[in-house]
Amino acid sequence: MSTSPPNNRPDPDDLLARVQAEEKQRERGHLKIFFGYAAGVGKTYAMLEAAHQRKAEGMDVVVGYVETHKRMETENMLRGLEVIQSKTITYRNIQLKEMDIDQVLERRPRLVLVDELAHTNAPGSRHAKRYQDVEELISAGINVYTTLNIQHLESLNDVVAQITGTKVRETIPDRVIDEVTDIELIDLPTDELLNRLREGKVYIPEQAERAIEKFFRQGNLTALRELTMRRAAERVDDQMLDYMGKRAIPGPWPARERLLVCVSPGAASERLIRAARRLADELKAEWNAIFVETPQQIRMTAEQRDRVDRMLRLAEELGAKSITIPGQSVAETVTNYARNQNITKIIIGKSQRSRWSELLRGSVADQLIHQSGPIDVYFVNSESQPSLKQPERYWQPHRPWRRYFWGIALVAGATGLCALVAPYISPTNLVVIYLLSTVVAAVFLGRGPAILTSVLSVVAFDFFFVPPSLTLAVSDTEYILTFFGLLSVSLVISYLTAQVREQADAAQRREAQTAALYELGHDLTAAVGLEAVAKTIIDHIGQIYSREVALFLPENNDLKLYMASQDLSVAENELAVASWAFEHNQQAGRGTDTLPDASMHYQPLKTTRGIIGVLGIKPLGINTYLSPDQQRILDAFANQVALAIEGAQLVEHARQTELLEATEKLQTALLNSISHDLRTPLVSITGALSSLEEAGPALDEEVRKSLIETAREEAERLNRLVGNLLDITRLEAGAMQLHREACDVQELIGSALEQIGTPLKDRQVNVEMSPKIPLVPLDFVLFSRVLVNVIDNALKYSPLEKPIDIRARASKQDLEISIADRGEGVPVDDLERIFDKFYRVQRPDNVSGTGLGLSICKGIVEAHNGCIRAENRHGGGVIFTIRVPLEGTDNQ
Amino acid sequence: MNEIGLRVLVVDDERAIRRYLHAALNAQGYTVYEASGGKEALNMTVADRPDLIILDLGLPDLDGVEVTRQLREWTHIPIIILSVREQESDKINALDAGADDYLTKPFSSGELMARMRATLRHSTQSGSDPVFETDNLKVDLTRRQVKVGGEEISLTPTEYDLLRILVQNAGRVLTHHQLLRQVWGSAYESEAHLLRVNMSNLRRKIEPDPTRPRYIITEPGVGYRLRTES
């Protein structure tokens, strides 16, 4: 354990985390693992026994998946328990049985038995691993009993491999164990286990016979047993500390340590990371993993790069935070980072480089030791396995051969130039020209050709310009110094220049990504409306990742495809994967552990309000995993995207709310206005009638007649108003149906004039119709009402002596009717607003009317696909022009 | 015409309207019976044999059009229907089913009386009056002669037939269907444009100002009416 001074006060953050975790526990189901050190100790049997006990106590127990291996005793234990039928998945013509997780979720038992936690599911299953299935069951609130062998634990994987000599492929991350409520250790003395093996009571897969022999040896089993017990004890220890922590019992709390492990492309990194995890566990410390991208690393092969990605992911799975940082020197970058992050211990593997290069450069280890200052540095022994060959630093197999020829050509050129100036300059100064050629080679041709140029320069210089010329011999030994100088300077220049260029490239790449992020953010702020935001997102992300993108948004609680890159079609089952990611707030699809057979990678978009959508990315290449860096950038994008979408949605919501408020305000104003207009005529009518009733015969004949006439006129006015209100309501509700028929325009005008009646008395109306106007498909009733309203309007707003001019004519496409008066005209600003509901031009003579007539006209004319407008007339007055299309005149 | 003693059946579910009609018609000398529903109306028609029925379209139990149809199965009693402004299709259906004329609510007593007179006149005529005369228009049916302001004008056979039907139903509304059926035949019931064109031509020939017709009045959405009183 740790030797650092104890800190007795319980950390408040820690406490909060515990309480939160406990709350989380209560909603989630409990997981109990039956833990054993080898196959055959009796884990499944113990689990089934416990299940029977629970059932006897009255709990609802169900068997999700139990592997009996056809053992009699195990099969007998199954009797009496409800078994959920397993799902059959066909993979490469093999029938595989897997647990049917959906059935279990539907059945919702209190407790379900799931054997072999570390099992890998068949391709096509929802999750890649069974422990993920179990996690889903736990999240749904179902308790689970499961079994596990020690060698399946990630952090102990290599230790077990060391003991047994066989490496187990199926591992589960340690965090699954740590979140477990209960571990029950199933122990069996090793002798008894060996007996069982001999009696044939232990399941052995046929292929593994020889490996099993190696495995089931006394020494191995004992070591495994001890390891298992120790691990289980650690868990108890954790539980105790947890208990103490919750009750704020002061104890020997360990100091806050922070570890940093350095990842390299070498094969030893895996072991290193697992060791770091164990150390972190022991010290109860947080730990980070770092990979330094030096200029050499930039030239890694794809395989190496993949390995680095996998190592960083492994570290993250084991609980570390991983990061990639570019830098010149590993030691310097690491120590800088360590200092910034308050790292207390650095873990690094022992060097794999050859003595020679170590001498030349100084090993990273040495540099670290010098630069680390107060930080401890731990060296972990790495097993030298035949790993991938590290590429020769100076060998660039993918550089085209051409460049080397150019290098040679440069030297030839320099030589030629030197030959020209040789008579005038001393040989030592000719060196400058060769140096220049090396610089040129380094800048334009790369490291390899530059080095070739350097060497060739020296040779050429010696051969051509150092006496005796045309030999490689040297007369004056001083020239050795010149050679040495030329060569070393050239090499240094080559090295530095090439390095600078490579770093510049890397920086450019990184800058491009940052710029892309910035641009995305910038364009998102400029995009207005959800559609624009979605399009921006899809264009940008598609560009950056060179992949096709799809955006899914929820509609009434169902996830639907909102927008996608061009030519991207999303299949039904892809939508199901997206929906899963949406519901569980986890990544899914290709490159993840859940439904990895999907063709796209799905990233949920989270904001403080919750999950608002899913982003789908379709990888174009074979690279199925996103590197942790790419993943981080994608997370950053996802955040921005989520916020932008949320923003657009909120803006829309706010707009609609505003609109609603404005509409309500308007409606209240309208209701007030209508109420007034309806009541006013009633005042006169009630007044007149009641006066007649009251005074009766006492009234003068003239007065009686006048009262009666008033009542009648007001009643007519009320009738007209009611009619107008009904019309406008019908128009608004879209309930106005046009009954079109072939209409004679002359008849239309005549009917309108007839309908107006009395106001036309003593008024001059000129009707001018151009000849040959065809029959027009209109709704006669409604259109005549339009004419009635407009003509009535003209009559009202012009003096009695002035005429009204009505004109009708037809062009090839339209019918045009114009109605003009000689009144005062309409203020220019009002020419459009007079068609608004309830709008009345302010006039000194209070003209009666509700202001609805013209808006009804507009509604009806537009329903006919026509248009109506008003203009002021030369010489005074207003002219209304109505235009309707003549379409459909072939029905004659 | 002697209205005293003529019996009128008023059918409307609104009490206020029945009261008003009762008073107005009584004042003119008619005897008024009241019914508040379609079935009651049918029964009372059989029992009391009115000379005219004023029938509201919007009845609660039996549709006004249906009442008209059932009545027309056995009687020619003149029927005037009362309708609301937007019920064009109901009006047309009722008229096609056999109603004689219609009034749009609200209407004035003057309109009511005029319609009643016209309807009753038409029903009591044994045969139609061979000569129709109003203002400047004179139509002699026996001689197939039409004169405007004393001058004889020539009409096409179709135009004449159209005018003849209107004259034979002077003062009453005729629906488009009825006109088309009677002038062209039942096969042409929906050829509205035939009617429009011929009506337009006819008006141009007999009306002093075709844009302000004085004789043939358009009933928007329903049909046409030849005006008998100025």
Please answer yes or no on whether A750 and B199 come within 8 Å at the CB atom. no
With b for 16 or more beta-carbon neighbours within 10 A and e for fewer, the B166-189 pattern comes to bbbbbbbbbbbbbbbbbbbeeeee
Residue B1: Cβ within 10 Å count: 9
Please answer yes or no on whether A744 and B221 come within 8 Å at the CB atom. no
Alpha carbon distance A62, A67 (integer Å)? 14
A585 contact partners, CB below 8 Å, separation of at least 6: A604, A606, A611
What's the rounded mean pLDDT across residues A16-38?
77
Cβ–Cβ under 8 Å, residues A866 and A885: yes
What are φ and ψ of residue A715, in 5° steps? -65, -40
Give the tens place of pLDDT for each residue, B109-153: 888 998 898 888 877 765 566 788 887 888 888 888 888 888 888
pLDDT value for A357: 56
Structure tokens at A632: 């981080």
Q: Is B193 on the interface with A (CB under 8 A)?
A: yes
Lowest-confidence region among A15-29, A346-360, A455-469, A732-746: A346-360
Determine the residue type at A484: F
Please answer yes or no on whether A780 and B221 come within 8 Å at the CB atom. yes
Q: How far apart are the CA of B85 and the nearest CA of chain A, in angstroms?
A: 8
What's the rounded mean pLDDT across residues B213-219?
90
Of B88, B106, B218, the CB nearest to A747: B218
* A chain contacts of residue B210, beta-carbon cutoff 8 Å: 746, 750
Q: Is B199 on the interface with A (CB under 8 A)?
A: yes
Cβ–Cβ under 8 Å, residues A549 and A620: no
Please answer yes or no on whether B200 and A723 come within 8 Å at the CB atom. no
What's the rounded mean pLDDT across residues A562-570?
77
Q: How far apart are the CA of B222 and the nearest CA of chain A, in angstroms?
A: 9
Position A394 pLDDT exceeds 70: no
3-state DSSP call for residue A66? coil
pLDDT value for A390: 37
Please answer yes or no on whether A741 and B213 come within 8 Å at the CB atom. no
3-state DSSP call for residue A874? coil
**Residue recorded with tokens 């006039």:** A843
pLDDT value for A384: 46
Band of residue B32 on the pLDDT scale cut at 50, 70, 90: very high
Structure tokens at A275: 């060791």
Interface test with B, best of A716, A744, A787 (most B CBs within 10 A): A744
Cβ–Cβ under 8 Å, residues A291 and A324: yes
Please answer yes or no on whether B193 and A742 come within 8 Å at the CB atom. yes
Of A719, A746, A781, the CB nearest to B211: A746
H helical segments located in A372-401: none
Of A715, A751, A891, the CB nearest to B218: A751
Alpha carbon distance A47, A27 (integer Å)? 23
Nearest residue of A to residue B212 by CA position? A750
Give the residue from A666, A526, A543, A580 showing the smallest Cα distance to A139: A580
Interface test with A, best of B173, B202, B211, B222 (most A CBs within 10 A): B211
* B chain contacts of residue A775, beta-carbon cutoff 8 Å: 193, 196-197
The continuous run of DSSP H or E covering B43 comes out as: helix B38-48
Q: Is B210 on the interface with A (CB under 8 A)?
A: yes
Position B74 pLDDT exceeds 70: yes
pLDDT value for A245: 63
Q: Is the dihedral of CA A403, A404, A405, A407 positive or negative?
A: positive
- What are the residues facing B103 on neighbouring strands? B82
Please answer yes or no on whether A775 and B193 come within 8 Å at the CB atom. yes
CA atoms within 13 A of residue B67's CA, in its CB half-sphere: 32
* A chain contacts of residue B221, beta-carbon cutoff 8 Å: 739, 780-781
Band of residue B218 on the pLDDT scale cut at 50, 70, 90: very high
What's the rounded mean pLDDT across residues A317-330?
82
Of A723, A780, A892, the CB nearest to B85: A723
Position A675 pLDDT exceeds 80: yes
Position A890 pLDDT exceeds 70: no
Tell me the angle at which helices A530-545 and A478-526 cross, rounded to the nearest 10 degrees. 160
pLDDT value for A745: 92
Position A385 pLDDT exceeds 80: no
Please answer yes or no on whether B211 and A749 come within 8 Å at the CB atom. yes
Structure tokens at A73: 């005793």
pLDDT value for A275: 84
- Specify the higher pLDDT residue, A289 or B3: A289
* A chain contacts of residue B106, beta-carbon cutoff 8 Å: 715, 719
Give the tens place of pLDDT for each residue, A796-832: 888 888 899 999 999 888 999 999 998 888 888 888 8
**Strands (DSSP E) found in chain B:** 7-11, 31-35, 52-56, 79-83, 101-104, 131-134, 137-140, 145-148, 151-152, 173-175, 216-219, 223-226
Position A1 pLDDT exceeds 60: no
Interface test with B, best of A714, A718, A720, A747 (most B CBs within 10 A): A747
Nearest residue of A to residue B106 by CA position? A719
Give the residue from A720, A850, A837, A732 showing the smallest Cα distance to A785: A720
pLDDT value for A398: 46
Band of residue A601 on the pLDDT scale cut at 50, 70, 90: confident
Q: Cα(first)–Cα(last) distance of chain A, in Å? A: 103
Q: How far apart are the CA of B158 and the nearest CA of chain A, in angstroms?
A: 18
Q: Is the dihedral of CA A391, A394, A399, A401 positive or negative?
A: negative
Q: How far apart are the CA of B51 and the nearest CA of chain A, in angstroms?
A: 30
* A chain contacts of residue B192, beta-carbon cutoff 8 Å: 741-742
Q: How far apart are the CA of B22 and the nearest CA of chain A, in angstroms?
A: 20
Please answer yes or no on whether B86 and A753 come within 8 Å at the CB atom. no
Interface of A with B (CB under 8 A): 715, 719, 723, 726, 739, 741-744, 746-747, 749-751, 753-755, 765, 767, 769, 775, 780-781, 784, 891-892
Band of residue A518 on the pLDDT scale cut at 50, 70, 90: confident
Q: Is B84 on the interface with A (CB under 8 A)?
A: no
Q: How far apart are the CA of B83 and the nearest CA of chain A, in angstroms?
A: 14
Structure tokens at A563: 């927008």
Alpha carbon distance A547, A587 (integer Å)? 17
A729 contact partners, CB below 8 Å, separation of at least 6: none
Position A542 pLDDT exceeds 90: no
Please answer yes or no on whether B203 and A780 come within 8 Å at the CB atom. no
Cβ–Cβ under 8 Å, residues A350 and A306: no
Tell me the angle at which helices A780-796 and A745-756 cross, rounded to the nearest 10 degrees. 50
- Measured at the CA of A472, the angle between CA A468 and CA A474, to 5 degrees, comes to 50
H helical segments located in chain B: 15-27, 38-48, 64-72, 88-97, 109-124, 157-168, 176-183, 192-206
Please answer yes or no on whether A767 and B211 come within 8 Å at the CB atom. yes
3-state DSSP call for residue A892? coil
pLDDT value for A820: 93
Alpha carbon distance A629, A205 (integer Å)? 41
Cβ–Cβ under 8 Å, residues A743 and B196: yes
Q: What is the tally of helices (H) and strands (E) in chain A?
A: 27, 25
A843 contact partners, CB below 8 Å, separation of at least 6: A797
The continuous run of DSSP H or E covering A844 comes out as: none
pLDDT value for A410: 84
Please answer yes or no on whether B220 and A784 come within 8 Å at the CB atom. yes
3-state DSSP call for residue A736? coil
Alpha carbon distance A258, A338 (integer Å)? 9
Determine the residue type at A357: S
Q: Is B58 on the interface with A (CB under 8 A)?
A: no
Determine the residue type at B227: R
Nearest residue of B to residue A741 by CA position? B192
Please answer yes or no on whether A754 and B221 come within 8 Å at the CB atom. no
Position B11 pLDDT exceeds 90: yes
Q: How far apart are the CA of A720 and the nearest CA of chain B, in angstroms?
A: 11
Please answer yes or no on whether B211 and A742 come within 8 Å at the CB atom. no
Band of residue A12 on the pLDDT scale cut at 50, 70, 90: confident
* A chain contacts of residue B85, beta-carbon cutoff 8 Å: 723, 726
Cβ–Cβ under 8 Å, residues B95 and B178: yes
Please answer yes or no on whether A767 and B106 come within 8 Å at the CB atom. no
Of A767, A769, A775, the CB nearest to B196: A775
Cβ–Cβ under 8 Å, residues A347 and A378: yes
CB-defined contacts A:B, below 8 A: 55
Alpha carbon distance B172, B229 (integer Å)? 12
Please answer yes or no on whether A747 and B217 come within 8 Å at the CB atom. no
Compute the mean pLDDT over every residue in chain B, rounded to the nearest whole number: 87
Tell me the angle at which helices B38-48 and B64-72 cross, rounded to the nearest 10 degrees. 30
Position A26 pLDDT exceeds 70: no
Please answer yes or no on whether B86 and A892 come within 8 Å at the CB atom. no
pLDDT value for A623: 53
Give the residue from A636, A629, A594, A593 showing the smallest Cα distance to A615: A636
Interface test with A, best of B104, B109, B193, B224 (most A CBs within 10 A): B193
* A chain contacts of residue B213, beta-carbon cutoff 8 Å: 750, 754
CA A341 to chain centroid, in Å, comes to 29
Nearest residue of B to residue A807 by CA position? B211
What is the full DSSP assignment across A757-773?
Answer: -GGGTT--EEEEE-S-P
